[in-house]
Structure 1
Amino acid sequence: MLPSTNNRRPIITHENPKSPISEAYRTLRTNIQFSAIDEELRVIMVTSAGPGEGKSTTLTNLAVAYAQTDMKVVVIDADLRKPTMHHTFSVTNRWGLTSIISGQAKLNEVVQQTYVDNLSLITSGPIPPNPSEMLASKRMTALLEDLKQSFDIILVDAPPTLAVTDSQIVATKCDGVILVVDSGKVKRDMAIKAKANLDHVKARILGVVLNNMDRKNAESYYYYYYGTSESQK
């Protein structure tokens, strides 16, 4: 039985696309597109230093922002220890990424359509005893190559960098990495260590998303930005 759609987590870029927060995610999408001057960025991983920093929320809203431009997008839940994407989109997690890698399912059997146009999802699948080995496998690499045939953008939700080595493994298979940092939660040295871990495997860090900024300052900046734009017209 599928989970009730009433229990799904709201995605602000889908529910309220005109909000300032949705605009911030569109800006992130644009910045990523501009960073790809000489080479295509098709496979992008999103991670964080530790848990609870908003990496999955960032990835989900970024995915919707891409889908709203009529690009075909697929999200892969590669957080094989603590997956959340099936909750976000309220779909079954009976099969998914681990099912493909273990040879128990084919790609077309695990790609699920979401309620967002142009946005598909591959959930984690059953939690395996050997997540790192599965993510490092040749089958994982082959899967990403196969997905490039059908999708414009592949977004990979990876575990926190400081918790396990999984995200470093996945980063080597991706075109770029977004590091999400909670401004009020993560200490500077933890963020630096997370970046160092990614640098160690020569990951291409596209940028850092600073989450949970002081709301008052963020709103005044947003007002100032549009206020000056309007006054110059």
Structure 2
Amino acid sequence: MQHSRPIVGFHCSGATGQEWHRLKAMSAGPAPVFTPDFFGCPSRGPWKGGRFSFADEAAPLLPEIRALGAPVHLVAHSYGGGVALHILRHHPDLVASLCLYEPTCFHVLRDLGAEGEALIEEIAALNGGLLADIEAGRLRKAAAAFTEFWSGPGAFDALSPERQAAMEAWIPKVVPDFDALIDEPETPGDLRPDLPVTLIWGHDTRVQTRRIIDVLAARFDAPQVHGLDGAGHMGPFTHRDQVFALVAAHIARAETGLAGA
């Protein structure tokens, strides 16, 4: 995969930058690939402040992205997509293109009026239940509920003991993550509609993420939108080959367009 600009990969909630490490193996040429960890990961440590926002998540990443020396191809999944949109919104000079797999930026659902508010309410109710379990010390129950919301009944039990333990250790971060995803302040016109954009979703996903794709597709001039048969919200893990092929195609398309600009 040839690319003259750096690539930055943002992981989903409960994962680490390892989610996008395959991009490093795919990369050819001198431009770097950067796959940072968010707060809540062992390398970054827990969030220790008060009310949390994407600005807090992005703050330690921005100097690292600027140090890459050129606008980047932002590749992101789920919660990482919310962080990516925040950076595009507030630091557009850092972004050359955007490739998102099911970004969970629930705040954009407000474009849909009453339908969108109802979909946000479902997420807020889930988050309230997770908060109650976390505050009561029921971390395993919260981790299972979160995992199964996205991947279906039995998904948590199907994880390895190591992954279950990692999810239990990470789960306190889920509540501030959801708060940031719901409460991000924005206006519909602040996302650079001319940007090279690819949006990817799984046909077996939640209605929230499917409708988020619809909203975002309407905000950009010429987005590429791809739906994957048999994939759900965790497609970058369960359908890795297809997802990474689409990411590579996006970067090739974006590089061609940027070279001709």
TM-score of the superposed pair, with normalisation by structure 1: 0.30
TM-score of the superposed pair, with normalisation by structure 2: 0.28
| Bigger share in helix | 2
